[in-house]
Amino acid sequence: MSENALDLQAAMESALDLAREAALLDEVPVGAVVVELKTGRIVGRGMNRRETRHDPVGHAEIEALQDAARNLQSWRLVDCALVVTLEPCPMCLAAAQQARIDRLIYSAEDPKGGALSLGYLLHEDARTNHRFSVQRFEVTECSDVLREFFRKKRQKPL
């Protein structure tokens, strides 16, 4: 395989499939995958499970990073990219930094909760021991699935 075998569209589609699965569980529809950059192989998968697991850190990114670490038998996810349907929160950006990923790719922006939108640029802070690139790769469906989920939530009686 090439030096960088990451197929962004395919990786984001895999993450989007996980987001749709989360919506079926009445979870906020966010999905994430960890991809080996040299092979293009998905080594970790995750979806939001905060509600079903009663877990405050049950974010898709955390689940994908943990799954990848188990599968690769290392917490250091070097030569890997984290691909997620929604801009990560500060906790998830920090987890990506701790996992030593090489790249973060996200689709939908999150102006109220996204680390980048809020100005938490941990991934490029020279004071930290690991930095990585961040890229936005917009796939309209990632925003659409979130918008539809919350539209339905607002219509439900309490």
CB-CB contact of 82 with 94 (8 Å): no
Q: Tell me the three state secondary structure of residue 86.
A: strand
Q: How far apart are CA 58 and CA 28, in angstroms?
A: 11
Judged against a pLDDT cut of 50, whether residue 52 lies above it is answered with yes
Active site residue 51: no
Among 21, 27, 36, 61, the active-site one is 61
Q: Which pLDDT band holds residue 27 (cuts at 50, 70, 90)?
A: very high
* Strand 42-47 with 80-86, pairing: unpaired
Judged against a pLDDT cut of 70, whether residue 3 lies above it is answered with no
pLDDT of residue 6: 85
pTM of the model: 0.94
